C-alpha cells in the first residue's frame, strides 16, 4: 500500500491540516468577512480536498498583482488647441458662445477637471451646431460664416477625442484600476449597483454625444464619477479572479497527482467537508457571473469610444478581455474547467 494513503499516515496528515486551518483562520480574522476571506475560503477547500485524497495540502503562494494602468501620457490622445482672437469669437456672438469661451479661457476654466472640460466641449458643439442650423449664418459676413463652419467642423472632429480624454484623464476612472487594492471579500462579489449605474451613464453620454437634444447634467456626471471613486472595484475583481485561478490550479495539481498514482479510487468530496464542493462551485459561479457582468459593462463603454492609444488597447486585452486566454476572466474559466474535469475523472474511479 502506498505510504501516503495508509491508515497510519492519515492521522499525521489530518493533524497538519487542522494546524494549517487554524493558522489560516487566525490570519483571516476567523475566516469571516474581510479582504482575506476569499483566500481563506479557497485554502479551506484545498485542505479539505487534500485530506480526502490522503495528501498534504499545497503551500499557498501569494498571487501576483494586476498590471499597472498606462501612464497619463500613454493613455491620452492629442487634441490640437483651437486658437482664435476674441474679436473673431465676438463676431459669432449670435451663436451664444462668447461667454462659454470666456469661461473656458478663465483661470478656473484652465484648471477645471476632465469631466468639466467634457461638458464644456459638449455644450460648445451643441451651440455651434444649433447656430449652423439657424438663420444666423445668413446674417454673418462671409469670413465670419466660414469661421463658424470651420470651428463647427473642428469641434465635431474633436469631440470623440475629448470624450476619450475626459474619461481616461479622470482620477475617478484611473483609481478603479489601482494596484493598491485587495481581492474581494468572499461574500461581496457582486458589482456595486452605483458603479454599474455610473458605467451605464457614461456609456449613454458617450453614445449620444452628437444628439443636440441631450444635455448632460453636471451634478449627475460628478455623482457617477464619485461612485467609481468610492472603491477600486475593477482592480479588486481582477485580483480575485487571479487568486481563484491560482488556488484552483494548486488544487488541480493535487488531483493530477492522485490520478497519476493509479492506486484505486478517492472520492473528492463529502458532506462533512467545509466548504463542501457544492459550496465552492456556487461561490465560483457567483464570481464568474460578477466578473462577466462587470467586464461586459466596461467593454460596452469602451466600444462606444474611439480606439484610443495602443497602451490602453494592450492593457484592455491583457486585463479586461472576456476572450483573450491570458486575461484574468478567461484564465480563471480555464482553470475551473480543468479542475472540474480532473475531479470528474477521479470520481469516476469510485463508481
pLDDT, tens digit, for every residue of 132-156?
Answer: 999 999 999 999 999 999 999 999 9
Residue 173 lies in a domain: no
Q: How many domains does the chain have?
A: 2
Q: Would you place residue 351 in the very low, low, confident or very high pLDDT band (cuts 50, 70, 90)?
A: low
The confidence score (pLDDT) of residue 8 equals: 38
Mean pLDDT of 48-73: 92
Residue 187 lies in a domain: no
Considering the domain architecture, whether residues 90 and 225 belong to the same structural domain is answered as yes
Considering the domain architecture, whether residues 82 and 220 belong to the same structural domain is answered as yes
The confidence score (pLDDT) of residue 146 equals: 94
The top-scoring range by mean pLDDT among 48-62, 88-102, 161-175, 265-279 is 161-175
Considering the domain architecture, whether residues 280 and 142 belong to the same structural domain is answered as no
Distance CA 72, CA 173 (A): 12
Mean pLDDT, the chain, as a whole number? Answer: 87
Would you say residue 315 has pLDDT above 90? yes
Considering the domain architecture, whether residues 223 and 241 belong to the same structural domain is answered as no
Q: Would you place residue 253 in the very low, low, confident or very high pLDDT band (cuts 50, 70, 90)?
A: very high
Considering the domain architecture, whether residues 223 and 84 belong to the same structural domain is answered as yes
Considering the domain architecture, whether residues 199 and 254 belong to the same structural domain is answered as no
Q: Would you place residue 347 in the very low, low, confident or very high pLDDT band (cuts 50, 70, 90)?
A: confident
Would you say residue 19 has pLDDT above 80? no
Residue 181 lies in a domain: no
Considering the domain architecture, whether residues 58 and 201 belong to the same structural domain is answered as no
Considering the domain architecture, whether residues 292 and 318 belong to the same structural domain is answered as yes
The confidence score (pLDDT) of residue 1 equals: 39
Distances (CA, A) of 304 to 33, 77, 258: 37, 16, 49
The confidence score (pLDDT) of residue 111 equals: 83
Distances (CA, A) of 115 to 88, 101, 193: 27, 17, 21
Q: Would you place residue 4 in the very low, low, confident or very high pLDDT band (cuts 50, 70, 90)?
A: very low
Cβ–Cβ < 8 Å for 58, 254: yes
Closest by Cα among 174, 217, 197 to 69: 174
Distance CA 151, CA 142 (A): 14
* Contacts of residue 8, Cβ cutoff 8 Å, sequence gap at least 6: none
Considering the domain architecture, whether residues 331 and 260 belong to the same structural domain is answered as yes
List, for residues 155-185, the tens digit of each pLDDT value. 999 999 999 999 999 999 999 999 999 999 9
**Element of type H or E holding 273:** none
Residue with cell string 458589482:
191
Q: Would you place residue 239 in the very low, low, confident or very high pLDDT band (cuts 50, 70, 90)?
A: very high
List, for residues 281-306, the tens digit of each pLDDT value. 999 999 999 999 999 999 999 999 99
Closest by Cα among 56, 60, 54, 141 to 94: 141
Considering the domain architecture, whether residues 149 and 205 belong to the same structural domain is answered as yes
Cβ–Cβ < 8 Å for 186, 242: no
Q: Would you place residue 218 in the very low, low, confident or very high pLDDT band (cuts 50, 70, 90)?
A: confident
The confidence score (pLDDT) of residue 27 equals: 38
Residue 299 lies in a domain: yes
Residue 87 lies in a domain: yes
Last residue of a domain, which of 229, 247, 273? 229
Residue 295 lies in a domain: yes
100 class by beta-carbon count within 10 Å (0-12 exposed, 13-18 middle, 19+ buried): middle
Q: Would you place residue 220 in the very low, low, confident or very high pLDDT band (cuts 50, 70, 90)?
A: very high
Mean pLDDT of 73-90: 85
The confidence score (pLDDT) of residue 3 equals: 38
Q: Tell me the whole-structure pTM to 2 decimals.
A: 0.85
Would you say residue 87 has pLDDT above 60? yes
Considering the domain architecture, whether residues 225 and 241 belong to the same structural domain is answered as no
- Other C-beta atoms within 10 Å of 99: how many? 9
Q: Which domain holds residue 17?
A: 3-67+233-348
Considering the domain architecture, whether residues 113 and 218 belong to the same structural domain is answered as yes
The confidence score (pLDDT) of residue 301 equals: 97
Residue 185 lies in a domain: no
Per 3-state DSSP, what percentage of the chain is helix, strand, and coil (rounded to 5)? Answer: 65, 0, 35
Residue 178 lies in a domain: no
Amino acid at each position: 500500500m502506498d505510504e501516503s494513503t495508509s491508515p497510519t499516515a492519515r492521522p499525521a496528515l489530518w493533524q497538519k491540516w487542522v494546524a494549517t486551518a487554524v493558522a489560516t483562520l487566525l490570519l483571516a480574522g476567523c475566516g469571516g468577512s474581510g479582504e482575506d476571506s476569499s483566500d481563506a475560503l479557497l485554502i479551506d477547500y484545498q485542505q479539505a480536498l487534500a485530506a480526502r485524497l490522503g495528501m498534504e495540502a499545497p503551500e499557498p503562494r501569494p498571487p501576483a498583482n494586476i498590471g499597472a494602468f498606462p501612464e497619463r501620457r500613454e493613455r491620452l490622445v492629442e487634441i490640437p488647441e483651437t486658437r482664435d482672437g476674441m474679436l473673431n469669437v465676438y463676431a459669432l456672438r449670435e451663436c451664444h458662445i462668447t461667454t462659454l469661451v470666456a469661461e473656458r479661457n478663465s483661470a478656473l476654466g484652465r484648471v477645471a477637471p476632465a469631466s468639466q472640460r467634457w461638458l464644456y466641449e459638449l455644450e460648445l458643439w451643441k451651440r455651434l451646431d444649433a447656430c449652423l442650423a439657424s438663420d444666423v449664418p445668413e446674417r454673418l459676413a462671409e469670413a465670419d460664416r466660414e469661421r463658424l463652419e470651420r470651428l463647427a467642423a473642428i469641434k465635431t472632429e474633436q469631440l470623440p477625442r475629448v470624450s476619450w480624454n475626459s474619461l481616461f484623464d479622470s482620477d475617478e476612472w484611473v483609481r478603479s484600476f489601482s494596484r493598491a487594492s485587495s481581492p474581494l471579500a468572499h461574500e461581496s462579489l457582486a458589482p456595486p449597483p452605483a458603479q454599474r449605474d455610473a458605467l451605464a451613464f457614461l456609456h449613454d453620454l458617450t453614445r449620444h454625444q452628437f444628439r443636440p437634444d441631450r444635455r448632460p447634467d453636471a451634478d449627475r456626471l460628478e455623482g457617477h464619477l464619485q461612485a467609481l471613486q468610492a472603491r477600486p472595484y475593477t482592480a479588486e475583481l481582477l485580483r480575485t479572479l487571479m487568486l481563484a485561478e491560482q488556488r484552483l490550479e494548486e488544487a488541480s495539481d493535487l488531483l493530477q497527482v492522485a490520478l497519476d498514482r493509479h492506486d484505486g479510487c478517492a472520492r473528492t468530496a463529502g458532506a462533512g467537508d467545509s466548504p463542501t464542493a457544492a459550496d465552492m462551485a456556487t461561490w465560483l459561479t457567483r464570481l464568474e457571473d460578477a466578473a462577466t457582468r462587470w467586464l461586459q459593462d466596461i467593454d460596452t463603454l469602451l466600444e462606444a469610444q474611439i480606439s484610443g492609444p495602443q497602451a490602453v488597447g494592450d492593457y484592455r486585452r491583457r486585463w479586461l478581455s472576456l476572450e483573450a486566454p491570458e486575461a484574468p476572466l478567461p484564465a480563471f474559466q480555464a482553470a475551473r474547467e480543468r479542475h472540474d474535469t480532473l475531479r470528474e475523472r477521479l470520481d469516476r474511479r469510485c463508481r
